[in-house]
Chains A and B, each alone.
Chain A
Amino acid sequence: MLTPHEQELIHREVDGETTPQERVEVQKLVETRPEALALMTSLRALDALFREVPDRAPPPRVMQLIHNAMPLNSRASPGAGRTQGTMQTITSWAIQQWNGVTNLMGESMSTKKVLIIATTAVAAIAIIGQAVVGYSPSVFDAGTIGAGDGMSGVQQAGRYKGRPMSEDDVTLSNPEIHALFQNDQVLRLVKSEVFREAMRDNAFRELQSSEAFHQLMSSEAYRLLMSSEAYQQLMSSEAYQQLMSSEAYQQLMASEAFREVTANEANQQLLASDAYRAVMASDAYRDVMKSDAYRAVMKNEAYRAVMKNEAYRAVMKNEAYRAVMKSDAYRAVMKSDAYRAVMANDAYRQLQSNDLFRAVSRSQSLSEAFLNQAMRVQQ
């Protein structure tokens, strides 16, 4: 029977923790005591078994999540808070992805991507819906978009609020807008029940009436992003359209967990939130991540350009954008059947690649022209 000291010596020998003198002592033990040899052999076998266990490479997304969680240090940039650091971190990490680190984009990163895409989609629907249903969301009320021609936006919008517009009313003199309404896809969309349903949707109206949404729509950063060439190309890409219309994407946008994340993200509590983990673990999210459409968007040159776009970065830092993300109205839109139906509408999807549609939905000048024309109709 080995004493505790003798057993410890053998353990330490296996671990390489013995002194030269102790090694001699262990050697004698093993040579003279069968139980010592048995213990030594057993421990060596155990050690060998551990060595057979392979080293696992963590999934690429783990690395990305770590980077997402890495704030820029406040000492380095005293004026920059954690919020700004996180945004910059995410953006810079996205750029690294494009340099070939991995083809699979990070999960937090992609959450932000779908947010901006979804917000843009809401804005596009709002603008085109203005012409058809004719209600007057206050996104145009406070004047930034509608301001011009020596008349404040508030005044213009007030005049515009006169009555609902019919299709016949839309006799737009601006050639681009006129052409837009000659477009079959536009007409198909605006005549569709799903679109009208979206326009009637209370959640949608509330979102457009919210101050946060208005501020986002009228922010310079948002406008710059919408008008950037890269963003335009992305909007018209086949991959983007497929992603937008995919069931997985729509389920993700409608999920409670995703909406929780959007709110938490705005509060910069994303990584610590249970909601974030719920999104990461959701089938819808994983389906989006695995979808060919998503991967195609990730590899899309235009998308990469958007990620590097200063305007995009500015939007992501924009307080109004964050406020929209955490607004109840936005959440309600994301989960509304009407919104999802529009996203899946063939005509809407085709419109994403229509130059004129995109121009109206993103351009300040065309938005102004649209409103001006609409007001002339009322006069």
Chain B
Amino acid sequence: MVKAPAVNDDLDRALVRRYLDGERAAGDELVNRFHRSVFNVALRMLGNVQDAEDVTQTTFGNAFAALDSYDPKYRFFSWIYRMTVNESLNTWKRRKNLVSLDGSFDVPAAGGASESEAEDSVQRALLKLKPDDRAVVVLRHFVSFSYEEIADVLEVPVGTVKSRLFTARDRLRESLVAAGA
């Protein structure tokens, strides 16, 4: 489970404002708040560490380049995760002909064997989902977003979020059962 930063819109807006006013440390704090969860979202979306690194880097690069145009009436976390998901989807499209759905991802094992097995099983099942459905699952289960927050990030109705999530879960359960997980 990703340790996503607690949603704190006031803090994020303040950090953006301070950064735009020239306080570099505020930009650092924004990065510190979100870089880990952004990386993990990209990793689960793509199942590839190198791609996740690229997406993370590109997302923040794009975010800071466009921060001048950021509208504080919108939530920063929605903005940054939307960029992450979109960049992940773009990367997925570019790589889809190269990525084998039956296991060419390279998520490294960390810790005990059971952790690695769970990670392998989940990642393989995730990669079998349609990218749009995968995004919903990742935001729900790895970032613990509510339906409304997911809808905000993906800019789709809450009903669409629920539909995608429930359908995706059914497929995940089928995949995991088939894989013996």
Contact = CB atoms under 8 A, between A and B. Distances in A.
B61 A58 contact: no
A53 B67 CA distance: 33
A50 B142 contact: yes
A11 B165 contact: yes
B178 interface: no
Given A49-B121, A62-B56, A73 B35 contact: no
Contacts of B121: 49
Interface string B114-141: 1100110111000000000000000011
Given A53-B142, A56-B39, A75-B22, A69 B57 contact: yes
Contacts of B169: 11, 43, 46
B172 interface: yes
B100 interface: no
A271 interface: yes
B50 interface: yes
Interface string A38-61: 000011001101111111111101
Contact of A49 (B110, B165, B176): B176
Given A53-B142, A66-B56, A73 B68 contact: yes
A52 B114 contact: yes
B181 A63 contact: no
A365 interface: no
B19 interface: yes
Nearest to B65: A71
A281 interface: yes
A7 interface: yes
In this complex, the interface size class of chain B, counting residues with CB under 8 Å from chain A, is: 35 or more
A76 B115 CA distance: 46
Interface string B58-101: 00110011011000000000000000000000000000000000
Q: Secondary structure at chain A's binding surface: helix, strand, loop or mixed?
A: helix
Contacts of A89: 24
A223 interface: no
A74 B31 contact: no
A92 interface: yes
B51 to A, nearest CB: 11
Contact of B68 (A57, A67, A74, A92): A74
B175 to A, nearest CB: 11
A154 interface: no
Nearest to B158: A17
A8 interface: yes
Contacts of B115: 52-54
B24 A72 contact: yes
A70 interface: yes
A60 to B, nearest CB: 11
A69 B146 CA distance: 31
B20 interface: yes
Contacts of A281: 50
A296 interface: no
| 8 nearest CB pairs, A to B | A76-B22, A69-B61, A52-B118, A58-B39, A50-B141, A66-B60, A65-B57, A70-B64
Interface of A: 7-8, 11-12, 15, 17, 42-43, 46-47, 49-59, 61-63, 65-67, 69-77, 89, 92, 271-272, 277, 281
28 contacts: A7-B166, A8-B166, A11-B169, A17-B146, A47-B141, A49-B118, A53-B115, A53-B123, A54-B110, A54-B111, A55-B1, A55-B40, A56-B49, A56-B107, A57-B36, A62-B56, A65-B53, A66-B35, A66-B57, A67-B31, A69-B57, A69-B60, A73-B20, A73-B27, A75-B20, A75-B22, A77-B22, A272-B61
Given A56-B49, A67-B28, A70-B61, 10 more contacts: A46-B176, A52-B118, A54-B115, A58-B35, A65-B53, A65-B57, A66-B56, A66-B60, A73-B67, A76-B22
